[in-house]
Amino acid sequence: MGFPRSSGILCHPTSFPSKYGIGDLGKGAYDFVNWLATAKQQLWQVLPLGPTGYADSPYQCFSAFAGNPLLISPDTLVWAGLLPADALADAPAFPAHQVDFGPVIQYKHGLFRRSYEHFKAHATAAQRAGFQGFRERHAGWVADFGLFMALKAHFGGGSWHAWPRDVRVREAGALTYYWDKLGDDATYHQYLQWLFADQWSSLKAHANKLGIQVVGDIPIFVAEDSADVWARPDQFLLDGEGNPTVIAGVPPDNFSATGQRWGNPHYRWDRMAQDGYRWWVERIRHTLTLVDIVRVDHFRGFEAYWEIPATEPTAVKGRWVKGPDAPLFQAIEAALGKLPIIAEDLGVITPEVDALRNRFDFPGMKILQFGFALDNNPKYLPHTFEKNYIVYPGTHDNNTVIGWFNEEQRTGIEKWNCLRYLGTDGHDLAWDFIRMAWRSVANQAVACLQDVMSLGNEARMNYPSTESGNWQWRYGPEMLTDALGARLRELTVIYDRVKPATKPTD
Active-site hit among 24, 144, 185, 297: 297
Closest CA to 142 of 45, 59, 251, 228: 228
Name the residue type at position 117: E
**CB within 8 Å of 436: residues ≥ 6 apart:** 368, 382, 393, 422
Active-site hit among 344, 345, 414, 451: 344
Active site residue 397: yes
Active site residue 344: yes
Active-site hit among 292, 312, 354, 397: 397
Sign of CA dihedral 436, 438, 443, 447: positive
Active site residue 407: no
Name the residue type at position 437: A
Please state, in angstroms and rounded to a whole number, the distance separating the CA atoms of residues 293 and 214: 6
Name the residue type at position 497: R
Indicate the pairing of strand 389-392 with strand 364-367. parallel
Contact 400, 450 (CB under 8 A): yes
Collapse the DSSP code of 225 into the 3-class scheme (helix H, G, I; strand E, B; otherwise coil) and give the result: coil
**CB within 8 Å of 281: residues ≥ 6 apart:** 331, 332, 335, 336
Contact 471, 99 (CB under 8 A): yes
Q: What is the CA radius of gyration of the chain?
A: 23
3-state secondary structure labels for all residues of 327-392: HHHHHHHHHHCCCCEEECCCCCCCHHHHHHHHHCCCCEEEEHHHHHCCCCCHHHCHHHCCCCEEEE
Closest CA to 309 of 257, 239, 219: 239
Active site residues: 297, 344, 397
